[in-house]
Amino acid sequence: MNRSMARFALCLVAFLLGAMVALGGEPKIRQLEFYSLAPDTQVVLRTKSRVITLDMVDPAEGEVLIRTSSDGEIFNEPRTAFLLGATKGKQQGALSLVEMGVVRAGLKLELGLGNLLVANRVHTSEITSIELRLK
């Protein structure tokens, strides 16, 4: 990369960081590829009625410890789950299309409770926000 391009890139990054500070903080996360996360990452999902924490155990396999709360303060005991991906849920003919490896705001998350057997798969409600936290 030549010097003028490098300078332009640095100026652009500085401008974007300044805009984020001026507008009040971090940009909202709209989607997340969970396979690329570190094992010490916690993902916090919010729906209209629940807060869901996902503590990454083995991101490559989609394995997490999941806890849920209705008030965001008192959570149930952690349970092993396996993330599949973003979905609108069951469509006509009970077909559920899943964007594998992705959590996306505005869609539901399909996961397997305890294992990936079809009988143990569930959908969350529509995700309204996504946060990342390092433990």
Task: Single out the residue of 75, 71, 70 nearest to residue 55, CA to CA.
Answer: 75
Inside any domain, residue 18 = no
Q: Is the dihedral of CA 18, 24, 25, 31 positive or negative?
A: negative
Total of domains in the chain: 1
| pLDDT for residue 40 | 86
Inside any domain, residue 95 = yes
Gap between the Cα atoms of 125 and 129, Å rounded = 12
Provide CB contacts within 8 A for 101, sequence distance 6+: 33, 34, 35, 62, 83, 85
| pLDDT for residue 1 | 52
SS (H, E, C) 22-67: HCCCCCCECEEEHHHCCCCEEEEEECCCCEEEEEEEEHHHCEEEEE
Inside any domain, residue 69 = yes
Inside any domain, residue 127 = yes
Inside any domain, residue 104 = yes
Inside any domain, residue 1 = no
- Strands 102-104 and 31-33, how do they pair? antiparallel
Inside any domain, residue 21 = no
Is the Cβ–Cβ distance between 79 and 67 less than 8 Å?
yes
Inside any domain, residue 43 = yes
| pLDDT for residue 118 | 87
pLDDT in tens, the chain (135 residues): 566 666 666 655 556 555 555 555 556 889 999 998 999 899 999 999 999 999 999 999 999 999 999 998 999 999 999 999 999 877 776 677 888 999 999 999 999 999 999 899 999 999 999 999 887
Residue 15 is given by DSSP the state H
Which residues form the domain of 37?
A: 31-134
Q: CA 3 → CA 7, 10, 12, distances in Å?
A: 6, 11, 14
